[in-house]
Amino acid sequence: MKKLINEPEDVVDEMLDGMVAAYPDRLRRLDDAEVLVRADAPVDGKVGIVSGGGSGHEPTHGGFIGDGMLDGAAAGEVFTSPSADQLGSMIEACDGGEGVLAVVKNYEGDVMNFDTAAEMAGMEGVDVSQVVVNDDVAVEDSLYTSGRRGVAGTILVHKAAGAKAAEGADLDEVTRVAEKVIDNVATMGTALTSCITPDKGEPTFDLGEDEIELGIGIHGEPGTERTDIMSADEITEHLTENVLDDLDLEDGQEVATIVNGMGGTPLMELFVVNKRLQELIDDHGLETWDAWVGDYMTSLDMDGASITVCAVDDELKELLSAPADTPGLTVTE
């Protein structure tokens, strides 16, 4: 394994300092914590939007801090939920008096630590509301699993909730739009190679030279099915069919789509996938209102991509296209 790192145990700490060094006017690091917040946090009179989780998904989470998106992001160790302490300090640092919405991805570690943090912050008098994103259709949502995972669709939750908060809406309203995105978004991904965590230094799972993993998670958790390599078109068809099946949309429905790279896949290939995705959206009688292509929710150096579809109404369209100014995503009017 070769990586551009120093000691594996320092990578998160050094990354955070490197982010602040890149955006000193926008980001501030909380003392002694692996937490980034807006340089001007807390923003008085605005609902704070925070997120967080394991590191290794850059630009998620810290890269989406800024006007119109997040106020704070906690960075756990690679693929490990931040501790409740860290999350608690973040929530308090982002409360401008109107309360804080925590956007949680559905992993037991994240959920348990955010729960504890919300309790702690509540005791300090901060109004906290939580939403749990679970857009990954690869995982069966049943009593026999810990539920669907939160993956790339999370970015749309950050965007919509962030825009609503920027409008001056109250915590209930901000929470409502976050839930609305969650109710309307679905994602599925595939891996061509495993990621390699700095600590382990070897692939998390072994994939044969001609195999791919369908339904991959964003932590190198093995997916749900292993198959022979297929063409980009076939893979796109498989992922898109599963996503659209889950959403079960009406004819003519407008959607936002994301082709999200897992970190190691060239942008060139993501556009090849997007070409087929847009054909399929059209074949299904749907209409793409906006298409995003890029690395939003990565998994270190994993080679692969996920496809997200989100049904949008006028409210979501307005929120998703509202201005945002963050290192990882800029939307202009």
Ligand X SMILES: Nc1ncnc2c1ncn2[C@@H]1O[C@H](COP(=O)(O)OP(=O)(O)O)[C@@H](O)[C@H]1O
Catalytic residue set = 57, 219
What is the contact mask toward other proteins in residues 260 to 299, using x (rule: CB under 8 A)?
Answer: ----------------------------------------
Report the SS3 class of residue 113: helix
Q: Cα–Cα distance between 65 and 29 in angstroms, integer? A: 12
Per-residue x/- track, 56-95, Mg ion (CB under 5 A): -----------------------xx---------------
Tokens of 202: 């070897």
Judge if the upstream peptide bond of residue 219 is cis by omega within 30 degrees of 0.
Answer: no
Residue 102 vs 277, nearer CB to ligand X: 102
- Cα dihedral: 83, 89, 90, 91 (round 10): 110
Among 96, 109, 294, 327, binds other proteins (CB under 8 A): 109
Give me the least distance between CB of 21 and other proteins, in Å please.
25
Stretch that binds other proteins, among 23-31, 39-47, 139-147, 302-310 (CB under 8 A): 139-147
Q: Which residues pair with 186 in a beta bridge?
A: 309
Task: Supply the DSSP string of 235-303, one letter for each residue.
Answer: HHHHHHHHHHHHH-PPTT-EEEEEEEE-BSS-HHHHHHHHHHHHHHHHHTT-EEEEEEEE-SS--TTB-
CB 239, CB 136: distance < 8 Å: no
Report if residue 269 touches a second copy, rule: CB under 8 A: yes
The residue from 96, 109, 203, 222 that contacts ligand X (CB under 6 A) is: 109
DSSP 65: B
Orientation angle between helical segments 108-123 and 84-93, nearest 10 degrees: 50
Q: Which of 51, 197, 257, 308 binds other proteins (CB under 8 A)?
A: 197
- Our finding on whether 108 is near ligand X (CB under 6 A) is yes
Q: Binding mask 62-81 vs ligand X (x if CB under 6 A, - otherwise)?
A: ------------------xx
Binding residues for ligand X (CB under 6 A): 80-81, 108-109
Binding residues for other proteins (CB under 8 A): 9, 54, 76-86, 107-109, 112-113, 116, 138-140, 143-146, 149, 197, 199-200, 204-205, 217, 219-222, 224
